[in-house]
Structure 1
Amino acid sequence: MSDPAAAPEPSFNTLYRDHRSWLQGWLHRRLGDAWTAADLTHDTFLRVLASQQAKAVPSLREPRAYLLTVGRRLLVNHYKRRSLEQAYLDALANLPEALAPSPEQRWLLLETLQALDDLLDGLPAVVRRAFLWSQLEGLDYASIAGRLEVSERTVKRYMAKAYEHCLLVDL
């Protein structure tokens, strides 16, 4: 006898069957790459299945709008990651070969950069900048205040906001 709790709800299966090819086509038109579109479509449905919203699938009045929202967020994350990777590769291209990291080190650095970007996602740009200057460049608050043309007190508020965000984020 099979365990009914182990199988996804039929409503999710219906959502997938009825809308997967539409979502994949939409992503393919945006990306121009069928493989990446298929990956992002898969990720979209995984997010839906993993979320609390999966239980509410039968009550979705506009399932395509919901899927589009999740798919767009994944598409934005995809472009951000690609941009981050390109910036990293450009920086590597300027390094002398003797100083270039190994492929394993490159992968770890890219993963770390992506995790940091995900962690700081949602913070205002000026708060992110202050936090990164403090943590990565070791700048003191006075130096950050000078760069941002704000008071040290404002920088302290920015840093407090960034620390609070890092502590409360659910990755």
Structure 2
Amino acid sequence: MSSNTSNSLNSLYQAHYEWLVKWIARRTQNWGDAQDLAQDTFVKLLGRPDKTEGIKSTKAWLAKIADNLVIDQARRQILERNYLAMLANMPEAMAPSAEQKWETLELLDQIDKLLNGLKPKEKLAFLMVRLEGLAYKEVAKQLGVSLSSAEKYVAKAMMTCYMNTYGLDE
């Protein structure tokens, strides 16, 4: 990173960090999370200093990055709550270790990010085929859609996973 880019990011941080924390705190109702997410916003910029050039509205740009992080955090909290609720109904002898719980939560988060942007039926069809091993015909029946719709849902989900892994930049 060049000295100019470093100075530019430092200036950006100095000028907008407090405002960004307050903006996030209004959305999350949590000052600690707001500080963490504001910090994460600037950490994201460290990895892509070229993106700071030519920004018309710095606050709007920072708010968009932070908003995406707030959404990611909320999505992860929902996944975690649902997973822990499922574990609560599991017999203690079958309960995973703390490490297994963490690894599973990380995997669920990665899967959720890969499937980001899909409609619920598209996600569900993909998971039914890929995780449960159901045939397209069975997926179509359970979702109440045509066989071709079930096939299209899974194809779209596979393309979305591919694009989110190898394709387009943010």
Q: Is the Cα contact below 8 Å between 1:145 and 1:155 reproduced in 2?
A: yes
Partners of 1:21 and 1:65 in 2: CA distance: 15
2:99 matches 1:91: no
Displacement of 1:6 in angstroms is: 6.5
Counterpart of 1:23 in structure 2 is 20
Matches within 5 A, 1:27-38: 27-38=24-35
Partners of 2:164 and 2:114 in 1: CA distance: 7
Report how many aligned residue pairs link the two structures.
166
Q: 1:11 to 1:136 in 2, by over 3 A?
A: same
18-27 or 158-167: which moved more? 158-167
Percent identity (aligned): 37
Q: Secondary structure at the match of 2:165?
A: coil
Query: Match for 2:40 among 38, 43, 51?
Result: 43
Partners of 1:144 and 1:6 in 2: CA distance: 56
Q: Secondary structure at the match of 1:30?
A: helix
Matches within 5 A, 1:61-80: 61-80=56-75
Partners of 2:125 and 2:71 in 1: CA distance: 23
Q: Give per-residue Cα distances to partners, 1:19-53, cap 9 Å, x unaligned.
A: 001001111222232221111111111122323xx
Q: 1:30 to 1:66 in 2, by over 3 A?
A: same
Gaps spanning 5+ residues in structure 2: where?
Answer: none
Counterpart of 2:99 in structure 1 is 104
CA RMSD across the alignment? 1.8
Displacement of 1:18 in angstroms is: 0.5
Partners of 1:64 and 1:7 in 2: CA distance: 21
Query: Match for 1:170 among 144, 160, 165?
Result: 165
Displacement of 1:90 in angstroms is: 0.6
Q: Is the Cα contact below 8 Å between 2:24 and 2:34 reproduced in 1?
A: yes
Q: Is the Cα contact below 8 Å between 2:45 and 2:51 reproduced in 1?
A: no
Counterpart of 1:55 in structure 2 is 50
Gaps spanning 5+ residues in structure 1: where?
Answer: none
Q: Give per-residue Cα distances to partners, 1:47-70, cap 9 Å, x unaligned.
A: 22323xx32525222100001011
Q: Give per-residue Cα distances to partners, 1:85-118, cap 9 Å, x unaligned.
A: 0001111111111111110110011011101101
Counterpart of 1:159 in structure 2 is 154
Partners of 1:85 and 1:113 in 2: CA distance: 9
Residue 39 of structure 2 aligns to which amino acid in structure 1? H
